[in-house]
């Protein structure tokens, strides 16, 4: 009889130990799940409020940004200078465009060249002519207060300020900080 009581005590201790181990594993899994959810919430928050991300779908900024590249932009830096690449929207679609003129600059497009403040712009990565489009934008134009004039690097097939005019800085989404190549060409 004492042996039976002893065996039952040993069995009870083993069951208790297994239960404690199971509770410990469940607790650790719960803590891990909470950490994963917290990381996801922080990541989503960062890419919703501080940074933005989108995939390009055209050649308007080639060769700097290619079709299919991921573009990450910082939403809070809107003190643009000429040559910054920024994100704007046109007809509800995001576009990466290069700032070529800022507030107070005079822009003209003639003879296939871009002029800013009566100086021809010698842009290192631009290999196409900069032509005027048949739109309501009249040249020469002076960039107004709180506005920028933007062009795509692929000048011959880019929808940019030659079509929609100067862009209010308040309506821009931010400055491009990272370009991630997704395709090899």
Q: Is 109 helix (H, G, I), strand (E, B) or coil?
A: strand
Q: How far is CA 83 from each of CA 18, 126, 175, rounded to the nearest angstrom? A: 66, 12, 11
Q: Is 60 marked active-site?
A: yes
Question: E-assigned strands of 56-160?
Answer: 70-74, 85-90, 93-102, 106-110, 113-116, 119-120, 141-142, 147-151
Catalytically annotated residue among 60, 119, 158, 161: 60
Task: Starting at the earlier edge strand, list the strands of the sheet with 119-120.
Answer: 119-120, 113-116, 106-110, 141-142
Task: State how far the Cα of 86 lies from the Cα of 75, in Å rounded to an integer.
Answer: 10
Enumerate the active-site residues. Answer: 60
């Amino acid at each position: 009889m004492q042996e039976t009581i002893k065996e039952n005590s040993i069995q009870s201790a083993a069951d208790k130990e297994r239960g404690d181990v199971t509770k410990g594993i469940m607790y650790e899994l719960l803590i891990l799940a909470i950490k994963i959810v917290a990381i996801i919430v922080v990541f989503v928050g960062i890419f919703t409020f501080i940074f933005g991300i989108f995939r390009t779908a055209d050649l308007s900024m080639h060769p700097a940004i290619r079709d299919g590249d991921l573009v990450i932009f910082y939403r809070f830096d809107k003190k643009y200078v000429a040559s910054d690449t920024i994100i704007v929207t046109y007809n509800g679609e995001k576009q990466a465009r290069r700032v070529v003129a800022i507030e107070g600059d005079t822009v003209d497009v003639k003879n296939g060249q871009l002029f800013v403040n009566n100086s021809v712009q010698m842009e290192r990565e631009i290999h196409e002519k900069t032509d005027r489009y048949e739109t309501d934008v009249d040249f020469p134009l002076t960039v107004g207060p709180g506005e920028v004039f933007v062009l795509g690097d692929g000048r011959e097939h880019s929808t940019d300020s030659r079509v929609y005019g100067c862009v209010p800085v308040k309506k821009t989404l931010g400055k491009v900080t990272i370009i991630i190549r997704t395709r090899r060409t």
